[in-house]
Amino acid sequence: MVHGIVPPYLLARIAELDDERFAAAAQAARRSLRYDEPRRAARLSFSLDASNNLVVELADGPNRTISDAGNRETLPGSVVRSEGDDATDDPAVDEAYDGLGATFALFSEIYGRNSIDGTGLPLDATVHYGVDYDNAFWDGDRMVFGDGDGEIFRRFTGSLTVVGHELAHGVTQYTAGLAYQGQSGALNESVSDVFGSLVEQYALGQSASEADWLIGAGLFTDEVEGTALRSMKAPGTAYDDDVLGKDPQPGHMSDYVTTDEDNGGVHINSGIPNRAFYLAAEALGANAWERAGQIWYDTLGADLSPDTDFVRFAQATLAAARARYGESSAEVDAVRSGWATVGVEVGNGGGLTA
């Protein structure tokens, strides 16, 4: 399953544009939509112990390889930068390399996770994929980045939240395994937004109150009336453009979108759990990757079924908060309040309000 950062409904709208100002963007979106239908190698270190015996250990450090597709749609492309190599003169290559490193750092330094799979999975990425490709995605093995069409989208390596978001799909793949359909799919997308935002906040040293809580900020060109693809703080406000339309994300269950498109609205309805996390993180203050982020990370390791819905996920976050911080803690109150504010009640038995 390919998990792209740009929702298919947005690409479809761009593909249908009949405006000479965006002719290249429309063509690029059509190409991107046509496409959008494990290698595992732990990094080992070797040393000798006091008795001169060979010791082999898993090294908790990134093992990055960046390849260049040369604007073709063939993966992986030619290797252009490997772990430890100096920066190149290609911004996309270096942004991808740095973004993979920043994502590794959050999961390793804060949550004690060694790469995406927890056992040192190499971090591979391909840049310059396709001609004006309007997306970035995790394909189950590697990150793939398009350059954008230059009229609506800039290059996708330029957003750290995009890199973190897509790699977080890999973390979900190796932990909760949330099915990419309906509410479980919206949770899959939301978890990636949560950790995509936290990757950026951790890299920049931002507190919950300092962060912008935007996913894909800077992706749009100046031609677009919008700040990002999504806002976790205020779903539905990321863009409002004459060409692209208005951001369709709801922030409350009363506005939940029932649709057969986009795998049951996975990119749309993710706004609801996104806002629940933001509210919990804002209530707890300080650094969101610490308490709120820890609770969501713990939840991924809980006994979640692939078809987990919003209520069951909310209950799992509450259980994770109780387990780590105690029943009467501020963390439990913040999690419960966050979900309740978006219309998902997690009382004694759980339940849903709209």
Give the 3-state secondary structure percentages of the chain, helix then strand then coil, rounded to 5. 40, 15, 45
The tokens for 19 are 């405006």
pLDDT cut 90: percent of the chain above it: 77
Do 1-174 and 179-348 have matching folds?
Answer: no
Report which residue type is found at 116: I
The answer to whether the predicted template modeling score (pTM) of the entire model surpasses 0.85 is no
Rounded mean pLDDT of the chain?
A: 88
281-306 pLDDT, tens digit each:
999 999 999 999 999 999 999 989 99
Q: What CATH number matches the domain at 1-174, 3.50.50.60, 3.40.50.1860, 3.10.170.10, 3.40.50.2300?
A: 3.10.170.10
Q: Per-domain residue ranges for the chain?
A: 1-174, 179-348
Tell which residue, 33, 27, 128, 26, has the closest CA to residue 73. 128
Could you list the active site residues?
166, 267
Superfamily designation of domain 179-348: Neutral Protease Domain 2 (1.10.390.10)
- Residue 273 CA to residue 348 CA, distance in Å, equals 20
33-87 pLDDT, tens digit each:
655 543 233 344 445 556 655 444 545 689 999 999 999 999 999 999 999 999 9
pLDDT recorded at residue 19: 74
By DSSP bridging, strand 123-127 and strand 64-68 are parallel
